Amino acid sequence: MTRLDAHQHFWRFDPVRDAWITPDMAAIRRDFLPADLAPALAAAGMDGCIAVQADQSEAETRFLLDLARAHDFIRGVVGWVDLRAADLDRRLAELSANPKLRGVRHIAQGEPDDFLGRDDVVRGIGRLPEFGLTYDILVYERQLPSAIALADRLPEQRFVVDHLAKPRIREGALEPWATHVRELARRPNVWCKVSGMVTEADWRHWTPAGLRPYLDVAFEAFGPERLMFGSDWPVCLVAAPYAHVLGAVEEYAAACELPAHDHQAIFGGNAARFYGLDERGG
């Protein structure tokens, strides 16, 4: 079974464009390109990855697609497109002509809490199925009600929640995150990435045990058939190396005594299914 990392990023660091990478994140204030990731993937026994946008520009989408064209281990790209553009269909048709484009994401966590419920945004996301594209939901815990409403309005759209919707692990808070996640998971068109946890925890003092309550909720809510591992590399490096991020999730999965097929699904099979890699030759 192919092992895939369902969530990571590449960039050529620009201190103005990438202002979200603050000085306390010094470990990632530099370029991160395929040659930097390849050794970590190989050491982890990963066969490939999904590269996800970090900048709200079509230029970055094309940059990621160019990297994917040059490096076979980048199995798919989740890019950005202006979902509210008047010529959205033209843009989607042009970008999706590249079979490595598998989905779209907007950094909704940086938008007002009602962003995902706005009619123009919903209308734009509603165009994605025609082009065979998924949508990654990047929100904070407080924005989960809007994500639930979005999933209800677009039941035919495939959604995946990034980073477990960023629970407040650093504070040890489970609610209202757990209630909202369980409710969102009742929608069969919504999946979830087991990613981004170490950066929501205390960067210096996190432990696998501290992640377990959040993993318990995610595994209970979505089940192994709708979960996928993602490293969130290189962002994870502010808190942990790649091997430690993967190890924390693998340790949890081993403690659950999952059947082999469920383990394979979480660490690759589900990402391949969700992003339709077999369908598009990704």
Q: What is the mean pLDDT of residues 113-129?
A: 97
Give me the pLDDT at residue 279, please. Answer: 54
Give me the pLDDT at residue 1, please. Answer: 73
Do the beta carbons of residue 50 and residue 7 sit within 8 Å? yes
What domains lie within the chain, and their CATH numbers?
4-280 (3.20.20.140)
Q: What is the mean pLDDT of residues 112-135?
A: 97
The whole model's pTM is what? 0.96
Percent pLDDT > 90 in the chain is 98
- Report whether pLDDT(274) > 70: yes
Do the beta carbons of residue 34 and residue 10 sit within 8 Å? yes
Distance from C-alpha of 47 to C-alpha of 44, rounded to nearest angstrom: 9
- Report whether pLDDT(234) > 90: yes
- Burial (CB count <10 Å: 0-12, 13-18, 19+), residue 15: exposed
At residue 278's C-alpha, the angle toward residues 124 and 244, to 5°, is 85
Q: What is the mean pLDDT of residues 1-10?
A: 95
Residues 31-88: pLDDT tens digits?
A: 999 999 999 999 999 999 999 999 999 999 999 999 999 999 999 999 999 999 999 9
Q: How confident is the model at residue 281 (pLDDT cuts 50, 70, 90)?
A: very low
Q: What is the mean pLDDT of residues 85-111?
A: 98
